[in-house]
Amino acid sequence: MKKLSFFIFLLLFLFSGISVSAQDEDLLKLVGEEKPTKEITKYAFKSPRVINSHSMEFLNPGTMDFRILHRFGPLDQGYKSLFGLDQASMRMGFDFGILQNLMVGVGRSTYKKELDAFIKFAPIRQSKGPWSSPVTLALVSGMTMNGLDWADPSRKNFFTSKLGYYFQAIIGRKFSEALTLQVSPTMVHNNLVPLQSDPNNIYAIGVGGRIKLSQRIAFTWDYSHVVVGMPDSGYYHPLSVGFDIETGGHVFQLHFSNATGMNERAFITETTGQWGKAEVRFGFNLSRVFQIKKKKHSKHADK
């Protein structure tokens, strides 16, 4: 009887050990199944644009960025025009976040009464974790339409002559909370050019950056250097410098630029001001982001 009791006790002990071991294995299995998540780097810039040019940043899905770009006349006009404040040109645009790495936008400028539209997509985004990338690669394709009347309406004119296109790749990296840099090779195509000797295709390299000065203020700049297709005289490389000021849901940009146009076709191919001669314009960009589609909450967020 004692042997039977001892045998039963031994069996219970072994099964209890197996049970505990199985539970431990299940717990370890559960822990092992928690795969590390990929974390996208955000807020490289406070806006989808640096100043003139596109930035590596994207809008969140379901949001709309109502953007007003305003630029006064050149400073060299002196006090008679209040250093350019008597004159103004502007662009009003609406940008929409579709996916985390996809956005579209439309706008209209007073300069040449030009309409423009673009699509921006990032096949690669700077991230941490599995399959991470040290940089963001974004691709932009845009189209513009000149809204001015025909210079010579008596001759046969074609609608396509009003159109222009640009194609751009943005390679950027947020090095730290304080520093972001990007480079953007760009091609601009004009269907119609002023002179037969002028090229239809213009190639440029753009650079831009952001240095964070405080929690709400950053210094920004963008510059485009035309490498192929720059006319012999009268046109210059566009350079803009300014400050981003974040105020709640607004991003307010104060800047100086030698460019009048405010889309890629205009400021890359038709900048006539020179910094050295004070042919620089003071301006501001105002960005207000609206949530136009309800955010999807996870089950954990609802609890």
**Residue 229's pLDDT band (boundaries 50, 70, 90)?**
confident
Nearest to 225 by CA among 210, 240, 236: 236
| Predicted confidence (pLDDT) per residue in 110-169, tens digit | 999 999 999 999 999 999 888 889 999 999 999 999 988 888 788 888 888 899 999 999
Residues constituting the chain: 303
b/e map 178-217, b = 16+ CB within 10 Å? eebbbebebbbbbeebeeeeeeeebbbebebbbebeeeee
The H or E element containing residue 219 is: strand 217-228
Q: Answer whether 272's CB lies under 8 Å from 259's CB.
A: no
Mean pLDDT of all residues in 266-293: 90
State pTM to two decimals. 0.81
Q: Give the residue extent of every domain in the chain.
A: 60-292
pLDDT digits (tens, 9 = 90+) for 25-34: 454 455 555 6
Of 1-15, 126-140, 249-263, give the lowest mean pLDDT range. Answer: 1-15
* Dihedral, 149, 151, 156, 157 alpha carbons, nearest 10: -50
CATH of range 60-292; options 2.40.160.40, 3.40.50.10710, 3.40.50.1970, 2.60.40.10: 2.40.160.40
